[in-house]
Structure 1
Amino acid sequence: MITPRFSCSQTEDAVTVSMYCPSIRAADVEINVDDNLLTVHVNPYYLRLNFPNNLLEDDSSSAKYDAGSGHLRITLTKEQTGQHFEDLDLLAKLLAPRPTKTTPTIEVLSSVENTDGLSQKLNELSLNPSEFEEAAANDWQLPQEFPEGLPKFQTSLEKPYGFLCLHSGYLRHVGHTENEVNDLGPDAEKCSKDERSKRRIQREDDKWDPEHYMADFADDEYIQDLLKWNHPYIAAQDPYEYTESENLEILRLPRKEYLADARQTRELYLTLATLLFAFAYESRTNQLDPTPESAWTICTLTPAFSALDPPESLCIGDEFSKVEVMATLLPSYRRALAFPLYRSFELAERCRADAAQLLAKGRRFVMRCLLDMKRIVDHHEVYYVYSKIWLDDFCVWVQAHASDELLSKLAKSVLDTSISKESIGWHLEDLEAVTREVRGREADSDDE
């Protein structure tokens, strides 16, 4: 079945769904309304929408097909007149399946126990009085230790990765492709979480070049121009409406239901901050004009892509602590100072501020950034794999499940968190001091 292009609008009394389904027979259209669920089927098209509130299929409802334009227009009455249906422009949220609400049940098959046999076995294990006296005389003191927990049983050598660890097998042949952003090498499928973090840190230390950093610090004229650039997405006015091409991209996204617990959901928000940091760096350095290197830049600066190493949550709740956000963004800072063309701590700070402002604008603007990233990565012959294991799912999740309130809280925490140069671990302040001293000596020599 084909999911058609569609759009939704509303009045005080009704909701209207406009579908583009050319070359159909109007008599074959099947429309069904079940509370807030609308299903429309006409070969070869099928559309299922979950609205936030209930609808009615009454005498005021209608369905009209315009054969000239190919649009089917369905108007359904609201169950409560005047009720506002939110997020009708978030197509992925409307297309998401109904959340399953299942309660686990426990069935007691039998409560009868062989108490006589159990008592007999306990008596056999008990010590008689003479044995107690012997134990006291010899003062037996055996060492007592808690047994160590058994490792989690693994049925496969491959370790899952990606969005909610739902994916595996995408990097089996990574050794035969030009995947320059991969920090794990041919062992990408087998590395554990700790090994991924260890290899990522080692890769960053190996790529760190103090001379490159000092050169950019000494000659920062172009970097200063990049810092003055104003991001159009941040300056845009609310509300934002998706373009037709963006709606088409949303319709091509997978239809999935995500069962994430509180900790996993929190980690998704933190990972989103690292994605927007990489997007902010790429868009600021290229001023929203992608180059052939843009896919490499985005994937390299995102630890969840390059090392399959997303951030971990340090606590549970709706508030994001500064310690947690600092641990989340520290790998992004290190990668921004070790890999790309422009390596400036001031530039990394500006990217953090950009990411915070994009988060504060809500899920519609965040979704726009994700679609831009997906468009860049999808067109690369190798790095498209990171779109499959991360960006596709993130796009669906942001529209269907992300909360503007939590995005706002995360934005405030990202903006207020300070990443110190000392925490990077590469003696940045000493290198900057040496650069200033050398530059001062050269200036004196020129004056003489």
Structure 2
Amino acid sequence: MLTPRFKLTQDDNNVYISVHAPYTNIGDTEIDVDGENFLFVSSPYFLRLHLPGRILDNDRSKGSYVCDSGDFNLTFVKETPGEYFENLDMITSLLAPRDIPDINPSLVEMLEEDGITFDENENHESTDSFGYGFANKLTTQFHGIGNEFPQIFELRMPEQVSVDERNKLRKEYEDNKFSSDHYLADFFDDELISPYVSSEPFWDSSGFNVESDFSEDEVGVLKELPNKNFLLNNKEYNQVLFGLVDILYGYCYDKRTTLNDSTVESSWTINKLSSTLSWFCVFNDVRETLVACYRRALIYPIFRNFELCNKVKNDLVSLFRKGKKFIIKSLIEIHQMFNSSNDARYILNQLYIKDYLIFLQKCRSDELDELCNNIANLEIAKNDLDLELEELESAAEMVQQDEIEIMENKMALKMASMSLLPKRNNAYVEESHETSDSSRSSDCSDSSSDTSSDSSCEDDSSDELDSDDDPL
């Protein structure tokens, strides 16, 4: 059975459900409402929803079918007039649980209303010390995954490296990859970096509509996700949020450095800048997360500039402030990039992105707002990155100043050597020409009958031509 595309809206007294089922037989369609539960069955479609409030199927309910579009448009009355149903646009969270096997069995089917259960026993470590994937809940499902996808993962055997060791190994690996020459080249090349520093992400443009509905493609992704419950302790819950920051930082970097026109390399950029996706790392605070993002943004991509890193952090804050729905839209775009990647990055959707899409629909918006404020209030300094950036810049500026002084000295010596040459003053020569002309004219007129004078005049005339031909 297929899950049809659907959309829910509301006013004070009614809930409106639109179901897109173009290949159905309207005569075989069954629609049933029971409090919070809505059922639509019409071969080959099956849709079962669990609503955030109760609706009634009575004489004020109505429905219609539009043949041209294949849409069922249904109206149901709210049991409590004026009640506001939250998260009607969170497609996956409305789907009733289905008995569909999933690669992550530790994330059980939804049993509670909000879909996220906190483990009250905070004393035990529920995250496996060698786990990976979303919330580190995977342990054996992808044995040797790093070796199988070396173009995606820098950590080859996550099942043999504990979570606590991964960040240490990652930093050592990054230190060896850091190129001081590349960093300094971008540091001094303002013309190269300026367009990307001065640009803005599309979500900050004046015409951007943050309230826009999910597109058909976006709904298509969300409706295929299983509705699961997350059993997490507080530490795991925070690590999941910090992992979200880590992934979205790479997304923001890509949008800024492609001027909002993502390319076939964008999936590589997001994958590479994220320690979560490249090293199966987890973080325990926002600062640690951002430091890792900055480091990788100065080591791997083509543009490596600290000011650019700060701009990307501001973009990340702006993205979070657009709200949960837009964050989900951004994750869906990442999901689509990974699915279309030539390097099999679809595996990252299986490990992380799909569960993040489910998780985001269930988590509370105020927690995302708090996370956003924490990011905005943090300032990352160059010394925080342990890449000796300030020392490199100071040394490079000293070398540059020395080169300038050497060039100035060479120029001064050249000018001094030129000053030792005989002076040839154009004005003086021209004045001499005029004086000579006058003298010759007078001499010639006074002694026109003198043959020697005529000869002298001819010689002077010849000298004048030679003088004009001389390139002064």
Normalized against structure 1, the TM-score is what?
A: 0.80
Change (3 A) 1:345 1:375: same
Q: What's the offset of the Cα at 1:425?
A: 0.9
Aligned: 1:3 with 2:6: no
Query: What is residue 183 of structure 1 aligned with on the other side?
Result: 154
C-alpha contact 1:240 1:364 (8 A) present in aligned 2: no
Aligned: 1:100 with 2:111: yes
Change (3 A) 1:151 1:5: closer
How far apart, in 2, do the equivalents of 1:338 and 1:81 lie? 57
Paired AA for residue 232 in structure 1: F
Q: What's the offset of the Cα at 1:19?
A: 0.9
Paired AA for residue 172 in structure 2: Q
For 1:314-325, what aligned pairs fall within 5 Å after superposition?
Answer: 324-325=285-286
Aligned: 1:23 with 2:23: yes
Q: 1:179-238, CA deviations, whole angstroms, 9 ceiling, x for partnerless residues?
A: 3342212x2333221232232122111111112111111223221210100111133343
Paired AA for residue 241 in structure 2: Y
Which residue of the other structure, out of 352, 375, 379, is the alignment partner of 2:340? 379
Which residue of the other structure, out of 356, 362, 369, is the alignment partner of 1:394? 356
Query: What is residue 431 of structure 2 aligned with on the other side?
Result: none
Q: What's the offset of the Cα at 1:270?
A: 1.4
Q: What's the offset of the Cα at 1:365?
A: 1.4
For 1:214-225, what aligned pairs fall within 5 Å after superposition?
Answer: 214-225=184-195
Matched position secondary structure for 1:53 = strand
For 1:219-298, what aligned pairs fall within 5 Å after superposition?
Answer: 219-235=189-205, 236-298=208-270
Q: What's the offset of the Cα at 1:347?
A: 1.1
Aligned: 1:193 with 2:163: yes
Query: What is residue 183 of structure 2 aligned with on the other side?
Result: 213
Query: What is residue 434 of structure 2 aligned with on the other side?
Result: none
Which residue of the other structure, out of 273, 278, 287, is the alignment partner of 1:326? 287
Query: What is residue 314 of structure 2 aligned with on the other side?
Result: 353
How far apart, in 2, do the equivalents of 1:171 and 1:200 lie? 20
Q: What's the offset of the Cα at 1:241?
A: 2.3
Matched position secondary structure for 1:35 = strand
How far apart, in 1, do the equivalents of 2:275 and 2:354 lie? 17
Q: 1:360-407, CA deviations, whole angstroms, 9 ceiling, x for partnerless residues?
A: 2111111121112111111123222111111111112112x1222121
Structure number with greater CO (CA < 8 Å, separation at least 6) is: 1
Change (3 A) 1:426 1:265: same
Q: 1:51-110, CA deviations, whole angstroms, 9 ceiling, x for partnerless residues?
A: 22111111211333334432222221111122232332221232264952599xxxxxxx
Higher Cα Rg: structure 1 or 2?
A: 2
How far apart, in 1, do the equivalents of 2:243 and 2:254 lie? 17
Change (3 A) 1:61 1:297: same
Matched position secondary structure for 1:54 = strand
Q: What's the offset of the Cα at 1:10?
A: 2.1
Matched position secondary structure for 1:387 = helix
Change (3 A) 1:253 1:188: same
How far apart, in 1, do the equivalents of 2:387 and 2:21 lie? 59
Q: What's the offset of the Cα at 1:152?
A: 9.7
Matched position secondary structure for 1:371 = helix
Change (3 A) 1:362 1:101: closer
Paired AA for residue 435 in structure 1: A
Q: Which runs of 4+ in 1 moved over 6 A?
A: 149-154
Query: What is residue 307 of structure 1 aligned with on the other side?
Result: 279
Matched position secondary structure for 1:34 = strand
C-alpha contact 2:146 2:155 (8 A) present in aligned 1: no
For 1:359-370, what aligned pairs fall within 5 Å after superposition?
Answer: 359-370=320-331
Change (3 A) 1:252 1:99: closer
C-alpha contact 2:110 2:227 (8 A) present in aligned 1: no
Change (3 A) 1:193 1:355: same
C-alpha contact 1:32 1:38 (8 A) present in aligned 2: yes
Change (3 A) 1:229 1:151: closer
C-alpha contact 2:62 2:74 (8 A) present in aligned 1: yes
Normalized against structure 2, the TM-score is what?
A: 0.76
How far apart, in 2, do the equivalents of 1:409 and 1:439 lie? 45
C-alpha contact 2:63 2:75 (8 A) present in aligned 1: yes
How far apart, in 2, do the equivalents of 1:10 and 1:73 lie? 13
C-alpha contact 1:29 1:41 (8 A) present in aligned 2: yes
How far apart, in 2, do the equivalents of 1:153 and 1:441 lie? 55
- How many pairs does the alignment contain? 386
Paired AA for residue 439 in structure 1: Q
Matched position secondary structure for 1:211 = helix
How far apart, in 2, do the equivalents of 1:184 and 1:153 lie? 19
C-alpha contact 1:254 1:393 (8 A) present in aligned 2: no
Query: What is residue 297 of structure 2 aligned with on the other side?
Result: 336
User: Which stretch of the first structure deviates more once superposed, 389-398 or 229-238?
Assistant: 229-238
How far apart, in 2, do the equivalents of 1:153 and 1:348 lie? 31
How far apart, in 2, do the equivalents of 1:44 and 1:256 lie? 24
C-alpha contact 1:96 1:257 (8 A) present in aligned 2: no
Matched position secondary structure for 1:36 = strand
Change (3 A) 1:37 1:279: same
How far apart, in 2, do the equivalents of 1:346 and 1:83 lie? 48
Paired AA for residue 74 in structure 2: I
Paired AA for residue 350 in structure 2: K
Aligned: 1:407 with 2:368: yes
User: Which stretch of the first structure deviates more once superposed, 89-98 or 326-335?
Assistant: 89-98
How far apart, in 2, do the equivalents of 1:58 and 1:19 lie? 20
Paired AA for residue 358 in structure 1: L
Q: What's the offset of the Cα at 1:423?
A: 1.6
Structure 1: state its 5+ residue gaps.
Answer: 104-148, 313-323
Paired AA for residue 248 in structure 2: L
Identity %: 30
Structure 2: state its 5+ residue gaps.
Answer: 98-108, 118-122, 412-472
